[in-house]
Structure 1
């Protein structure tokens, strides 16, 4: 008898503080119950046969409504799983440290080539950490370090040139580092990350356009959060002035780089052993 329901976020987290209100077709409230620590509702109040409206509310989430039908003799409404959307967007990762997983992340740079095509490269060795603030997400932070010599464009000769003093000069500047200095909301699930990039011995402010893609369990017993971030860099801003003009003023390599970051971060201070 009564009401059963499971209250979850889009990412499967239990909403332990959810309130479930049941009204009949006249709008009169017939039942009110609170979810337990696992986001489950079990109320033994008997309900008369007929249709009911079930409204689920929770602080920080948009209300959700469902219809329940109680058939004769049972007096029970089985609502099933009710999914709540965070007000303002997707459910955020849990507060605390998250460790970037290089094996399931990508750091990519795209440059124009000969004025009409693109060359895409990636860095294969990097590490980083995200700290989700407990109260205000805008107080969260990120730090990352990339091994400059790990650049890979799929062409050994080109990679060697990129590692040379003409570009990254990896012998002199072996690491590329980024440290955030703040976050600004830019939409329901988007932020602008303000930070400082250290590249080729030069430190400059660089903003990242960040999208949060969601959180879920992984096959190794952990929890992962996914992010995508992009920015554009000018090589000249980081003292990389080399270029070769091939014809009529067309440069072999463009002066700007589009940087794309696809990141998976694992909850906790360290990565699991796979």
Structure 2
């Protein structure tokens, strides 16, 4: 193969049918190849050794250019090329945005026995985002039904709903309300807010990435976000644990939380 590479989004998904163009030092096009369904580019065109400009384009993504060196053997490895959605370096347009639960997830990971992880998610939640003209005044409010915890094991989920952990009978809802927003990079922000769980209110910051905006098949506009944070169970009065051996706890004290969010512009009920 003369040219090989893979075209990916920032979160690792393939960009099928992206187009890779190579031009020589005079600006003349010498190769044009398309990526396959898995984002892979494999083209056998013979190229003379030397330096070339690589331009990668795909509908809905910002183009990117780089330099590739074709070896004496006539091969060029362009590696993993990462494309950003157009508009992905800015927050979505000001106004209300409604989180689409069918295309979003709220997940948490806890360490188990000190050697592996247990993954869980909440299946019943809703949220509203207000992007302000003054970005630092943007707001988010979210409500999670605590009883919707799902780790794939019924016995474990029942225990998690009990007073040892979420205590869903006394505290059926987990809520988050933002108090501010500060920039942390070209497409990253820190969301400052308060998380209420088991009746305990704690300040919790979210590390937020905006993955971009785009049209959906139903005539709407959507925006995608990823947010992460870490929580200590003890901060929310979840002290249950058992030591299994040599001081190792059955359940880790820290939870890694990841939110994969898709929101629809306006105060609307998202399509499935």
TM-score range, shorter chain: 0.5 to 0.7
**Structure 1: runs of 5 or more not aligned:** 1-84
Alignment correspondent of 2:174: 176
Give the aligned length.
188
In the alignment, the residues of structure 2 paired with residue 219 and residue 117 of structure 1 have an alpha-carbon distance, to the nearest angstrom, of 40
**Structure 2: runs of 5 or more not aligned:** 1-85
Alignment correspondent of 2:238: 240
Q: Deviations over 1:206-235 (max 9, x none)?
A: 000000000001111111000000000000
Query: Is the contact between residue 209 and residue 230 of structure 1 (CA under 8 Å) also seen in structure 2?
Result: yes
CA RMSD of aligned residues (A): 1.5
Q: How is 1:150-229 mapped onto 2 (pairs within 5 angstroms)? A: 150-229=148-227
Task: Name the SS for the 1:241 alignment partner.
Answer: coil
Query: Is the contact between residue 123 and residue 147 of structure 1 (CA under 8 Å) also seen in structure 2?
Result: yes
Against the structure 1 CA distance between its residues 161 and 131, is the aligned structure 2 distance closer, same or farther, given a 3 Å change threshold? same
In the alignment, the residues of structure 1 paired with residue 176 and residue 268 of structure 2 have an alpha-carbon distance, to the nearest angstrom, of 19
Query: Is the contact between residue 110 and residue 259 of structure 1 (CA under 8 Å) also seen in structure 2?
Result: yes
Q: Deviations over 1:114-143 (max 9, x none)?
A: 001000000000000000002x21211100
Q: Deviations over 1:165-197 (max 9, x none)?
A: 000000000000000000011000100000000
Alignment correspondent of 2:98: 99
Task: Name the SS for the 1:171 alignment partner.
Answer: coil
Task: Name the SS for the 1:162 alignment partner.
Answer: helix
Give how far 1:94 is off: 1.3
Alignment correspondent of 1:258: 256
Query: Is the contact between residue 222 and residue 272 of structure 1 (CA under 8 Å) also seen in structure 2?
Result: no
Bigger CA radius of gyration: 1
In the alignment, the residues of structure 1 paired with residue 93 and residue 180 of structure 2 have an alpha-carbon distance, to the nearest angstrom, of 19
In the alignment, the residues of structure 2 paired with residue 177 and residue 246 of structure 1 have an alpha-carbon distance, to the nearest angstrom, of 33
Q: TM-score, normalised by structure 1?
A: 0.67
Task: Name the SS for the 1:181 alignment partner.
Answer: strand
Give how far 1:92 is off: 2.7
Give how far 1:272 is off: 3.4
In the alignment, the residues of structure 2 paired with residue 90 and residue 194 of structure 1 have an alpha-carbon distance, to the nearest angstrom, of 20
Against the structure 1 CA distance between its residues 273 and 227, is the aligned structure 2 distance closer, same or farther, given a 3 Å change threshold? closer
Give how far 1:264 is off: 0.3
